[in-house]
Structure 1
Amino acid sequence: MNKSEILDLILLKQEGSYWDFKREWYFQDKKADLLHDIICMANNLSNRDAYIIVGVDEENDYSFSSVKSDPNRKNTQQLVDFIREKHFAGGIRPIVSVESLDFGEIEIDVIVIHNSDATPFYLTENFQSVMPNNIYTRVMDSNTPKNKSADLPHIETLWKKRFGLLSSPLERMMIYLKNPDLWKNSPNDYPTKKQYYRFFPEFTIETVHNESKNGYQYYLFNQTDIHPRWYDINLYYHQTMLASLEGLSLDGGRYFTPSPKTDGISLTQYHHWDISFKYYIKDSIEYIVHKFYYNSDGDDETIAHDRFMKCILVFETNTEKEEFKHFVANNWGNKPKYNKNIWMPYFRKIEGYNIEVLKEEFFNSQILQKMLVEFRNIK
């Protein structure tokens, strides 16, 4: 959500399938209306974030009505607490937040109902006039009435969304990989290890040892056994390859993961990297497969995993990564304050490699981990 997007919706002077206007915040005796509106928006058929824009008077030509002094105003935590108290099916609740926007002396709030694959959201116990087991949605600019359920085709669409049936094959694969317990090993999978998704066996993932790949990265030296084995991780829908990732076996086979991606930061006017780092971005295919292969069912695997992750940056989004790079570029001159208590593993000499370069990359990775914590604390 951004300010220009909300302003564009206001200028349309009409409500729609994923946005609604309220002149003021919901009164205390209108909690059922608030919950009902949130559920309808969470189950919107546009498959995207939805907005309840508070502080726009649609009966007065969609003019602003500032919420600065509104006694019923809520922040994100209050709204989350309100949702948490309700009995949703499976304990799965809509994800909501409140964003405030300034327009000169006017301030409006936007209740953001974040898009989710967990649809349909519905109650198992009634809350005032909001009925249990009724599935509410929003069609065009109208919500399902509280005493009714949505039409069957719309309910089917919401269930299809939950099971990934509205998504592309790669998007469905990423949904299914988030449930590793539902994957089975194919018989006769040696030397290629192949697994399939139990409910849709046309989705498969295989690992193939790639003997042509050989190389060392700084994070390998944090393992007891520093020698890697490199693999290809191939994701298929029927016979069509959806993606191919580089994988590696760490610490003598105790831990397996897709290799992280690489980015860097330039501290000068030139475009070369002065600092490089390895990273994952949450909800990327690399990170989802990384989580898929980590079972955490043995001490050796857990130790190898933890040592690996101490060297890798994990970002919420690509935007956060780019903002962090800017932060590092502006604060790298303060590097000495992050140098304390950094433990360095033993770096044995490897023919053909400049060990001092690998040491520096490892050292920088530990500084960047500390800087990322500080970056998030001051955002």
Structure 2
Amino acid sequence: MKELIEQLLLENREGLWWDFKQQHHSNLVDLLHDILCMANVLCDSDRYLIFGVNDNCEVIGLEGSAYRPSQADIVSYLQTKSFAKNNIPTVELKTIKVKALELDILVIKNEKFKPYFLTRDEKKKGSCVRSGTVYSRVEDTNTPKDSSANPYEIEAMWRQQFGLDKKASERFVDLLLDFENWKYDGINGAFYDIDPDYTIEIGDGESSGGKFWWQEILFEKPSKYFYHLKYKKVELHKIPAIRFNSESLCIPFPSIEFLTYPEKDDGCITNCYCDLFYYTKGTVQYSLFKHIRALEIETPNERSFSTPIESQIKPPIIHLPFLILDSEQSLKHVCKQLKNDFDSFIKENDEMISDAKTKNKTINRHTSERLFSEWAYWVNYGERV
């Protein structure tokens, strides 16, 4: 976050998805207007209101400010407003230091529920956000409160909400999450009931076990096969999946970041393999992960889609400490953090890694991989597996 804000400050200007504010809004209707404008921007990134920067893009900080709301204050305020269909923008308030001065960053999340608008006027001290009006932002300028975003932009927002702006391959990310509208034949196939041109075909098992620790050293070796995601019988995605039959546990094959290993010249002194296994939200792999998980039980909840991954229909034996990340940027941050703390991992697990070295190379790799996976999970979630 700090690096991103510093980069935006170097731009010495405001932009489509970031705006500088000298201080927090004294009139909350003005804050509401800014949030609506930012939330409706058509760009593929989160948006930022950056407090503590003057009109000349100079950092002045917020020390001594008369009013600094908390995240809870802002969320509570938004929850009292009459958003259409109760679609409320998701926001987070963070504080960072730049040049030893505090800045508050209000992050408005990029979500598919655009257009955001109100069903009742909000007025205060002569400022009014009008009901039924869609506000947005062009370059560095908000839609005025007495105006509206242009019709073409509003149409694009609705198309985005319903996924009509996406290619067929991209639509699978959303369609897989509409769990109830997929109809399975009970064997190896399914179709999407709202648009039957979208289908899933599940291949036969092709192999057992593999080269990673979670494929070889648990009490059961998983079988591997493929999910074929098709549109009008054309294959758009071929996604490998693994199944632990005894555990009734099936997941897409995770993404892998080869963080460090003995021969890698990256400054990490190590004789062990440290591979990071993860899913990224917003990808077709993560949507398929949630889709398969939702089919396993009648009433899925947030725990169903979290980590460590384990069986949901009986007491779990297998625990898979795969990370679930928000974005590629999150992956870079996690890798940087793990490399910075790498020496502590080696020190903490030196005895077990050294013991594995007395055995063969495969056992060494599997042992060190598992230790690293569990350590990376603990670093990110603060829990031991």
Q: Same fold (TM over 0.5)?
A: yes
Aligned pairs for 1:196-345 (under 5 A) are 196-211=191-206, 213-215=207-209, 218-219=213-214, 226=220, 228-252=222-246, 254-266=248-260, 270=264, 274-277=272-275, 279-283=277-281, 284-294=283-293, 295-297=295-297, 302-303=312-313, 306-308=316-318, 310-316=319-325, 317-327=330-340, 329-335=342-348
CA distance in 2, matches of 1:324, 1:55: 28
Residues matched between the structures, number = 350
**How far apart are 1:355 and its partner, in Å?**
10
Say whether residues 1:71 and 2:66 are aligned partners: yes
Say whether residues 1:104 and 2:113 are aligned partners: no
CA distance in 2, matches of 1:179, 1:82: 30
Preserved CA contact (<8 Å) 1:278 1:312: no
Q: 1:199 is aligned with what amino acid?
A: I
Go from structure 1 to structure 2 and tell me whether the alpha carbon gap of 1:180 and 1:337 turns closer, same or farther (over 3 Å shift): farther
**How far apart are 1:358 and its partner, in Å?**
5.9
Preserved CA contact (<8 Å) 1:56 1:65: yes
Preserved CA contact (<8 Å) 1:50 1:113: yes
CA distance in 1, matches of 2:201, 2:221: 22
- The equivalent residue for 2:149 is 150
- The equivalent residue for 1:130 is 129
Structure 1 unmatched ranges of 5 or more: 340-353
Decide which of 33, 40, 43 is 2:40's aligned counterpart: 43
Q: 1:122 is aligned with what amino acid?
A: F
Provide the secondary structure at the position in 2 that maps to 1:302: coil
- The equivalent residue for 1:342 is none
- The equivalent residue for 2:304 is none
Go from structure 1 to structure 2 and tell me whether the alpha carbon gap of 1:215 and 1:282 turns closer, same or farther (over 3 Å shift): same
Preserved CA contact (<8 Å) 1:218 1:362: yes
CA distance in 1, matches of 2:201, 2:98: 53
- The equivalent residue for 1:93 is 88
Go from structure 1 to structure 2 and tell me whether the alpha carbon gap of 1:19 and 1:363 turns closer, same or farther (over 3 Å shift): closer
Go from structure 1 to structure 2 and tell me whether the alpha carbon gap of 1:74 and 1:360 turns closer, same or farther (over 3 Å shift): same
Q: 1:48 is aligned with what amino acid?
A: S
- The equivalent residue for 1:165 is 164
Deviations 1:90-144 (A, max 9, x none): 4332122334454536544332222111212223444433344432222344433
Structure 2 unmatched ranges of 5 or more: 300-309, 353-358
CA distance in 1, matches of 2:230, 2:158: 24
Provide the secondary structure at the position in 1 that maps to 2:64: coil
Decide which of 27, 31, 45 is 2:28's aligned counterpart: 31
CA distance in 2, matches of 1:320, 1:62: 27
Q: 1:194 is aligned with what amino acid?
A: G
CA distance in 1, matches of 2:378, 2:107: 26
Preserved CA contact (<8 Å) 1:234 1:241: yes
Provide the secondary structure at the position in 1 that maps to 2:129: coil
Preserved CA contact (<8 Å) 1:265 1:273: no
Q: 1:231 is aligned with what amino acid?
A: Y
Preserved CA contact (<8 Å) 1:196 1:205: yes
CA distance in 2, matches of 1:269, 1:254: 38
Q: TM-score, with normalisation over the residues of structure 2?
A: 0.74
CA distance in 1, matches of 2:256, 2:44: 32
Which piece of structure 1 moves more, 90-99 or 271-280?
271-280
Q: 1:73 is aligned with what amino acid?
A: R
CA distance in 1, matches of 2:378, 2:154: 42
Q: 1:297 is aligned with what amino acid?
A: I
